Structure 1
Amino acid sequence: MTRTEIRAALATLAIIVVINGAVAWAVFRWPWATDAAGAALLLYLALEWPSISRGGRKMATAALAAALAALVLLPQAVPVLRHGLAEAAFIVGLFTTLGMLRDSAQSSRLIRRCGEQMVRQRPGRRYAALSLGSHLISLVLNFGVLALLGVMVAKGNTLSAANGDEIVKGIRKRRMMTAVMRGFAMMTVWSPLAVSFTVIEQAVPGLVWWRLLPLQVTLSLILMGWGWALDRMDFPPHTRRLPHHPHRTDFRPILSLTALVAAIVAGAVAMAEVLDARLVVGAMIVVPPSAAIWLYRQQSGPPRPRAALTARLFLRRLGVSLPNFRSEVAMLGGAMFLGVVVAAFVAPEDMARAIALIPLPPIALAVLIAWGVMAAAHAGISQLVTVTLAGSALGSLAQAGISPQVMASGLLGAWALSICTTPVGAAVMSVARVAEVPVKVVSRTWNRRFVLVGALLLAVWMVILSLVL
């Protein structure tokens, strides 16, 4: 084996230790499990440091600076650093576990058939089809949906398909790429498999996920409906420049994918109930075997050779994909660690006193916190950091009569909307790269109105919830 292969193998083993350590702590509460997961995470970052992106290195450096400041200034620094490392390992474990599902999805003919059905829709239906399809596929592909559908859009949106009309080609590109991006972003409003759901479940005290879920599904439909309405306002049917080409939709692959996603989520819920653990812990246990079974179904031949081939493919893909998550691991893990450590400098009682001095109703403060998450994301500060920091204030708002469901709903909505506008976000950068346009075009020109009006809708939603709950 070459030095590169040895490094990749060690990095893969390190992430597997991170995942298993995080699950072992969540289920059995073994103290050594979090320490093992944290040590494995540090080893992974050390091994992959030369290849981590500039943004990932900046976040990891900020986390290191926070750790040094804690050692100097906090009287009980070691427990804080251990807790921060444990939380970072858990969020990295969740993200990389979901990546296993993405590996199996990317080679699935079912995913390709779903994508093709969405891209081939007529203009009036295409936005809705791509938005809903992206929303559904992102449950299993996560960020991978942007590359999958984005590439399909780019390949299908040729100059010849637009009858040589550059304006038509540009309009199609904008409409289809914003549909894919917004569909993915709104998935984070409600999905138990999303990183946002995990972080907010930890940050908001007294939150009951099964009460929150129907509220969030409704909110995601509202925001996706606004995206569709905005698309119709910007590009009304009477401006169509090309004749209509009918396409007959085959709903079978879409229904099959829906059943697959439902089975995975149901398995995660059942596992969480059996173990009396958080929903995301159930997901971390259920997703790897689900990914292996999905990969098995893609192979052919007798059962025993088929299983052996599946095992080889699964392990080979892990050896490639887990080291390739290096930049995302640095960003996610570093942001989570940074948020936990910085929050330790702010005493909850001090935050409560500061909030009490603000002459605004509690629901207005809750809305401002949600908008603050969006503003910080637009300035390049990760939602992981701001939501974790906001945790000190959320307990005070709960004591003032704001339901945990209201606060969690607002934060999840703000997180999702900010995905579409933050210029340093992975979603915006991925869409800009595939669409071959500057990042500012995606975050400002394409999505500014969607996010600004979405923020107002979110505020109204939070006020209504506060009156009902």
Structure 2
Amino acid sequence: MQIDRHRTAPQSACLAGLFLVATACVFVADEWTQAIELEWLTAALAILVALTLALRSQTKERLFLAVALVLTGIALATLPDALARILRALQTAGFIAAIFTALATLRAVAESSPAIQRSGQYLVAQPPGRRYLALTLGGHAFTLILNYGSIVLLGSMAMARDDANQDPRICALRTKRMLSAVQRGFVAAVIWSPLSLSVAITLTLLPEVHWIDIAFPCLVSSFLLFVCGWELDSRIRPPVRTQAPSRTAAVGGWRALAPLGLLLCLLGTLLSGLHALTGIRTIGLVVGVVPCIAAVWLWRITRDPDNGLDFGARAKAYLTQDLPGLSKEILLLMSAGYIGNIGAPIIAPLLAAAGVDPSGLTGWVVLLILIWALPLAGQFGMNPILSFSLIAPLLPSAESLGVSAAAIAAAALAGFALSGASSPFTATNLLTGALGKVSAFEVGVRWSGPYTLLAGAMISVWIGVYAFLL
């Protein structure tokens, strides 16, 4: 029988979208009720999501699934508590799918918002003297709403700007500075934002830590990333111009950023207020609150007939196009989370047999390992989620190390940020390279190499001060 591929593709897309939304709903219910039945349902939905996304994926993503299956077989054959380990790994994969689904709602609506578009245009139109700062701070704020979409939105606007100066040296330098500013704003956000996947994964693997525990050290680390980027950019001396550049007036003033600021204040108020009232983890609240805000925002946008948007049509497009369109990213991240969780207990006895005893490490060494191991592994193609999922279960307890669990989490998040800045295999550098028409290696290693080393050294000192002196 011949298969109608044109019919099968939309069907698999619709199923993938439905399973992803169902996973997010079950995860929220599980956070509120802590029912064991919902934990099993989350695991079952994670399997269904992986299978439907695999139908739309390519060889690389399916290879990750094959590795996950092999490790599952090894776990069943060697681990006495294999079923419990597999259940926990599937729950992690389901959690990744849930938070990705929730954050995608806000991104889908924000990309349809004329107000957000105007905010981006205002930032890009800043004069050269303050453009780096505007794009870094703007990229930071946009990342809280759009995640990777901030790089696409601001980067695309930056590359579309008219510039009468056709000197290729100046154009190349301008491209590097503008895209680096956006990228560094993104990196500085993922280290602390409760809406970032890195924070969500870290708090899941270190359940004794809450977001409020890491807010202070991670915000200081984020500030150090800003300072480092600003300092390196200020040292760049462009070639002498042969022709004055064109100027594009910044339209709307700082008021163009008001909608973005109001949205961030609303998110922060709701998340902090609900956490204080209910005691539910910030991550669980994010998955429940963000889609509600996105739905209300979309409703307000569609009330204006000039926007040409229909609420039902946009919601359907999110379910059948936006979510399935992210199948590659979601499947890779789910696989990385699963492989890390199921692989760590398999690796532990192998390390013991080789005479490697992590319990003999000092607190300072563990913190340095977390800060630098993730970006180093990223140079060889390892996703930071996979790296940290493998490392976290092998770490000695915070008490035995003489440091707080918050210090361990802050060090790990610094590693996530530095990996995002430097690894040629992360989406951050792949997107930036595509916009700048250069390779991801050029972006991650040559553009961001000095930034990563300097920022890593500064953050290493800060985390040491926080862990042992504060």
Question: Given the two structures, how large is their TM-score scaled by the length of structure 2?
Answer: 0.91
Residues 330 and 405 of structure 1: is their aligned pair in 2 closer, same or farther, counting only changes over 3 Å?
same
What aligned pairs does 1:303-314 form with structure 2 within 5 A after superposition? 309-314=310-315
How much has 1:325 moved relative to structure 2? 1.8
Which position in structure 2 is the counterpart of 1:184? 186
Contact 1:100 1:318 in 2 (8 A): no
* Residue number among 88, 112, 116 corresponding to 1:83 in the alignment: 88
The offset of 1:75, in angstroms, is 2.2
Question: 8 Å contact 1:419–1:428 — kept in the other structure?
Answer: yes
Secondary structure in 2 matching 1:121: coil
Aligned to 1:403: 404
Aligned residue for 2:204? 202
Q: Deviations over 1:8-46 (max 9, x none)?
A: 222111111211121222221222223222222322332
The corresponding residue for 1:227 is 229
Q: Distance in 1 between matches of 2:304 and 2:365?
A: 61
Deviation at 1:247, TM superposition (A): 4.3
Aligned to 2:3: none
- State the match for 1:377 in structure 2: 378
2:397 is the alignment partner of 1:392:
no
Rate the CA distance shift 1:457–1:92 in 2: closer, same or farther, 3 A: same
- CA displacement, residues 190-225 of structure 1 (integer Å, 9 cap, x when unaligned): 100111111111223532421321221221111111
SS of alignment partner, residue 195 of structure 2:
coil
Structure 2 runs not aligned, ≥5 long: 1-5
CA distance in 2, matches of 1:260, 1:21: 26
Alignment of 1:243-262 (within 5 A): 243=244, 245=247, 247-248=249-250, 250-262=253-265
Instruction: Report the equivalent of 1:344.
Output: 345
CA-CA distance at 1:273 after TM superposition? 3.3
Opposite residue 415 of structure 2, the aligned amino acid is: A
After TM superposition, the structure 1 = structure 2 runs for residues 16-55 of structure 1, keeping only pairs within 5 Å, are 16-55=21-60
Structure 1 residue 418, shift from structure 2 partner: 0.9
Contact 2:217–2:466 (CA under 8 A) maintained in structure 1:
no
Report if the CA contact (8 A) 1:186-1:416 is conserved: yes
For residues 313-338 of structure 1, the C-alpha deviation after alignment (integer angstroms, 9 at most, x for no partner) is 22332221111121112111101111
Name the aligned partner's letter for residue 134 of structure 1: G
3-state DSSP of counterpart to 1:52: coil
Q: Distance in 2 between matches of 1:76 and 1:368?
A: 28
Residue 67 (structure 1) aligns with: 72
Among 152, 164, 167, the alignment partner of 1:165 is 167
Equivalent in the alignment of 1:450: 451
Give the superposition deviation at 1:241.
5.9
Is residue 97 from structure 1 mapped to residue 102 from structure 2 by the alignment?
yes
1:268/1:280 contact within 8 Å kept = no
Q: Which amino acid aligns with 2:145?
A: V
8 Å Cα contact 1:373-1:414 kept in structure 2: yes
Deviations 1:324-378 (A, max 9, x none): 12111211110111111012235699699813445xx421332123211221122
Quote the sequence identity (%).
27
Q: Summarize the Cα distance change of 1:77–1:241 in structure 2 as closer, same or farther, 3 Å threshold.
A: farther
- Deviation of the 1:47 alpha carbon: 2.4
Worse-superposed segment, 63-72 or 332-341: 63-72
> For residues 424 and 53 of structure 1, do their structure 2 counterparts lie closer, same or farther at Cα, with a shift above 3 Å needed?
farther
Matches within 5 A, 1:427-466: 427-466=428-467
Q: Could you give the per-residue CA deviations for residues 61-102 of structure 1, whole angstroms, max 9, x where no partner exists?
A: 222221121112212211111111011101110011100100
Using the alignment, how far apart are the partners of 1:388 and 1:2 within structure 2? 38
Say if 1:91 and 1:47 are closer, same or farther in 2 by CA, change over 3 A.
Answer: closer
**Cα distance, 1:43–1:204 mapped onto 2, change above 3 Å:** closer
Measure the CA separation in 1 of the matches of 2:304 and 2:127.
39
Written as runs of structure 1 = structure 2, the 5 A alignment for 1:67-146 is 67-146=72-151
**1:434 positional shift:** 1.4
Contact kept, 8 Å, 2:210 with 2:281, in 1: the verdict is no
Q: In the TM superposition, what is the alpha-carbon distance from 1:240 to its structure 2 partner?
A: 6.0
Amino acid at match of 1:355: P
- Judged with a 3 Å threshold, the aligned counterparts in structure 2 of structure 1 residues 95 and 184 are, in CA distance, closer, same or farther, namely same
SS at match of 1:381: coil
Number of residue equivalences = 459
Q: How far does the alpha carbon of each residue in 1:278-323 deviate from its partner, in whole angstroms, 9 at most, with x for none?
A: 1011111101110011111212369xxx9x9424422332221111
Deviation at 1:256, TM superposition (A): 2.4
Rate the CA distance shift 1:52–1:123 in 2: closer, same or farther, 3 A.
Answer: same
RMSD: 2.5
Q: Give the Å deviation of 1:179.
A: 0.7
Give deviations 1:444-464, integer Å, cap 9, x for gaps: 111110001111111111111
Task: Return the match for 2:301 from 284, 298, 301.
Answer: 298
Structure 1 unaligned segments of length 5 or more: list them. none
